A and B are shown apart, each in its own frame.
Chain A
Amino acid sequence: MSGARILVVEDEAQLRLAVTRSLEGHGYVVREAGDGAAALREVESFKPDVVLLDLMLPDATGIDICRQLRTSHDTPLIVLSVVGDERTKIAALDEGADDYLTKPFAMGELLARVRVALRRGSTMRTQVPVITSGALSIDLERRRVTIGDREVRPTPTEYSLLKYLATHAGKVLTHPMILRAVWGEAYAADSHLLRTYINQLRNKLGDEPASGRYIRTDAGVGYRFVEQADGF
């Protein structure tokens, strides 16, 4: 998706520069922001398709920026964090960030995440009644789940879980987010419940926890539904 607009929010000038150059080399249109205020300005004027957001900014934390962005935009957000920022990272995901990348990262990985985020941005705009990932197909209108010709029969809760994950394909969903969406606020802390249902669902889908064909585990963070076309 060349020509897509990417906003790089990072206060380390050298890193920002390297990322920008690299993205531009891959045909993206890039703008840079060195702090939170500039980031919010650029989101309004530049209207990026994806935002890369550093968690530690001179004038605000990435979490603040996530929150402010999400009040008026659903632009896909990829958080850039350093080991040790786990709590901040999860908080940012809870505030609506879509994905995260731990520094240092290879550009190839960042590019892959950007592609996923861009696709998510486009699927959000067009409501698809059927979500597919490889052989898996979820018909949201008829509530039918099939793998190839075989029909999978999830329980109503398993179906809600799968639907929530699949409609947010590519986005990292934290445990509390999923629990709130599927079970309700009272269950937001019950990670064990979620783990149990994820296991049942994976069994029915013939999914392995290690490889995660459809549902990928982000240890200690959450789960994401994988659209198999993007190969990670």
Chain B
Amino acid sequence: MPVRDAGKSPWTGAAAAVGGTAVLVAALAPLRGDVGLLNVGLLFLLLTLLISSLWGLLVGAFAAVATNLALNFFFIEPLHAFTVRHPQNVIGLGIFLVVSVVGGSLLSAEREAAGRARRREAETQILLRLSRAMIGQTDPDAALHALCSEVTSAFGASGASVLSRSGGDWRVLAAAGDAAAHRPVSREEQLMAEQTLAGGSTRLLGDPGFEARRRVRIVRPRGSRRGDAAGMAFVPLQVGDRVLGVLRLDGPAGRDTRPLDEPVQLLSAFAGEAALGVQRVELARGAAHAEVLKQADEMKSALMASISHDLKTPLAGIKTAVSSLLDEDVAWGAGDRRSFLDTIDSQADRLDRVITDILDLTRIESGARAPLLTAVHLRDLLAEACERTSPIADARPTSIAVPDDLYVLADESLLLHAIVNLIENAAKYSREGGAIRLGAVRGAEAVEVIVEDEGPGIDPRDLPHIFDRFYRGEAQSRRVRGSGLGLAIVKGFVEACGGTVRVESGPDRTRFVVTMPAAAPARVVT
């Protein structure tokens, strides 16, 4: 800590000079003839230099004069008088005085420089600690709290708080230190805070005990005396024109702290650093918020692109077929007419499926459709799912390996839809002609329903996202068309039924596991 030793007041220094001189006189006067005047003078010079180095130039000069007088009085003829008999002694005393003053001043300058460097270093340390404490913060409130606790420990204060004005009222945004730091802002404090912001510089109320003697106007509350309860400091927190608030620093209750040399300057530097830190956190927050908004926007445009593609593609087939049929320039044969009508029929079904998917997902997500949980016979459900997916999965060997007595607690239509989507997914994305296997594993309280294909597996980069809405794997999106909703629907529906779904994928197989609560046959839960 940058300290000035409180015990080294100039009076102590003067006393030490007088005392030291007295001791030297007492010790050397009886030996005057034996020691020699030159040696006595050197000893006195040593004392002067010591005093200078410890108490500074002024006290050193005093010591030089004191030792000079003592030398003259006790050791130079005529003794016990301030007169000097031999002219060379006059010159000697003069030289002694000059040497001790110059030597003392050199020493004291050295000492001051060293002290300044120490203080500088300590201040830098304080600011560095503050920076470190604030740099990791992502939340503005946490950053303010870190500021309060740093300033409390750095200045030996009993507490610190950040005050902010909203409307006409001041309130405490963050505080650290003792309980009093959290106290509401009093009338007097509000006034001080206002003045602090108006003046833009640190103000002290009472003597905060930071030894702020220089550069500071001390405003003593009316009726208070020196030595009363510790005072306060108010420091503006602002970056450029932007005012973040006022730092209220409570002085230490006792005066046993180590006061800083230039606490106000340091406080201001501290506050500047802190304000920057808080602003940085706020900016980071704003940037994060903007990023979230941007992602939401990207999500929306992905949704729009996906929906428009999924809706428009079947519509394009229908429109082409219908407009062809309406074309009177061509006399369509029965086969052509049939083909156009088939297109219309199948594309209308497809359109219906897409719209149903979107509506279902929206309903489940908005909570508009509550699941109806019943005991569902698993093998029947899987068999029906296979039947529904036969147009897509026909070319693939499909097997169901499920015990006949397995029931799960689920909403039958939601679970069916989820399984259908998983089978469709397997049929669309696994290697051509590969088998699709449906199975189930009975656990103590849950049943794992498994839909497995024969690869090529899912890119590990895509795995964490495949249940996201509108996420389509980089490779898949080229190979196969889809809405990117299928697996999101699986997840939404399974979770709505109280189950979970996970995926395991390797180069030769992808396995979706739906875990549902086991149920006793025909148990109905409402």
Contacts and interface: CB of A to CB of B under 8 A. Distances in A.
A104 B318 contact: yes
A25 B316 contact: no
Contacts of B315: 103-104
B312 A18 contact: no
Interface stretch (B118-126, B271-279, B324-332): B324-332
Given A18-B343, A105-B319, A82 B327 contact: no
B320 A59 contact: no
A12 B313 contact: yes
Nearest to A58: B479
A200 to B, nearest CB: 36
B316 A58 contact: no
Contacts of A60: 478
A64 B342 CA distance: 32
A131 interface: no
B116 interface: no
Given A21-B336, A83-B308, A58 B320 contact: no
B456 to A, nearest CB: 15
Contact of A103 (B316, B332, B343): B316
Nearest to B335: A21
Interface string B338-372: 01101100110000000000000000000000000
A82 B308 contact: yes
A179 interface: no
A105 B329 contact: no
A80 to B, nearest CB: 8
A84 B302 CA distance: 9
Given A21-B339, A58-B478, A84 B305 contact: yes
B187 to A, nearest CB: 62
B327 to A, nearest CB: 6
B287 to A, nearest CB: 27
B350 to A, nearest CB: 8
Tell me which of A60, A84, A108 has the highest count of chain B C-beta atoms within 10 A of its own C-beta. A84
Interface string B197-240: 00000000000000000000000000000000000000000000
Contacts of A107: 320, 323-324, 327
B473 to A, nearest CB: 13
A98 interface: no
Nearest to A25: B330
Contacts of B324: 18, 21-22, 25, 107
Interface string A72-83: 000000000011
A128 interface: no
B312 A83 contact: yes
Contacts of A186: none
A11 B340 CA distance: 17
A213 B458 CA distance: 54
Contacts of A25: 324, 327, 330, 332, 336
Nearest to A59: B478
Contact of B327 (A17, A22, A103): A22
B481 interface: yes
A19 B340 CA distance: 9
A18 B314 CA distance: 12
B321 interface: yes
A61 B313 CA distance: 16
B267 to A, nearest CB: 54
Contacts of B340: 18, 21-22
Contacts of A61: 478
A106 B323 contact: yes
22 contacts: A14-B317, A15-B347, A18-B320, A18-B343, A22-B323, A22-B327, A25-B327, A25-B330, A56-B309, A58-B480, A82-B312, A82-B313, A83-B308, A83-B312, A84-B304, A103-B312, A103-B316, A104-B312, A104-B318, A107-B323, A107-B324, A107-B327
Given A25-B327, A58-B478, 19 more contacts: A12-B481, A14-B347, A15-B313, A15-B317, A15-B343, A21-B339, A22-B320, A25-B324, A26-B329, A58-B479, A59-B478, A60-B478, A61-B478, A82-B316, A103-B312, A104-B315, A104-B316, A105-B316, A107-B324
